Amino acid sequence: MPTAEPPPTPAEAPLLPDDAPLNTVDALVQLSFLVQGVLSATGAAHDLSVIQLRLLGVLRDRRAGMLELGRHLGLDKSSMTGLVGRAEKRGLVRRSPSPHDGRAVLVSLTEEGHRLAQEGAEEIRRRLTEATAHLGAEGRAELTRLVGTLLRGVGD
């Protein structure tokens, strides 16, 4: 039986024909599909779900309490407990008592968690750089400026 070809990466498969008209909502939704596809493919390559990959990303440069992690990831307390518990069993994170609150715990990456977070970040950077290569340096800078403006304006 022939082996199945892996699905094309975002850089290999255009999401829209060149002449397809887009409005702002459609453009942002299609962009989110592209980014989610990159996150899904990167996570799958490392046997991680997107939410596990996001957890590692949040913890790359900090220790965080469960409530803070829940806010970053949009998860309730019981979902956070399960997520952290599974990551802990896999040796990716550790829990330690909070020095400021005896009832709280802080979550941080283990050495293996740091390694996997770094590999994931590099792969995401590579895939998104490939996906935006056709924009050129000026186009990528403009995209970055527009996205930054959009994100800073959320919640105003």
Cα–Cα distance for residue pair 33/15, rounded to 1 Å: 9
pLDDT digit string, tens, across residues 69-110: 999 999 999 999 999 999 999 999 999 998 888 788 999 999
Does position 31 have pLDDT exceeding 80, yes or no?
A: yes
The pLDDT of 119-124, averaged and rounded, is 96
Cα–Cα distance for residue pair 113/84, rounded to 1 Å: 12
pLDDT digit string, tens, across residues 2-18: 444 445 554 445 566 66
Cα–Cα distance for residue pair 122/106, rounded to 1 Å: 26
Cα–Cα distance for residue pair 26/89, rounded to 1 Å: 40
Strand order in the sheet with 93-97: 64-65, 105-109, 93-97
Would you list the domain boundaries of the chain?
A: 24-127
Cα–Cα distance for residue pair 144/154, rounded to 1 Å: 16
Q: Is the CA virtual torsion 123, 125, 131, 134 positive or negative?
A: negative
Classified by CATH at the fold level, domain 24-127 comes out as Arc Repressor Mutant, subunit A (1.10.10)
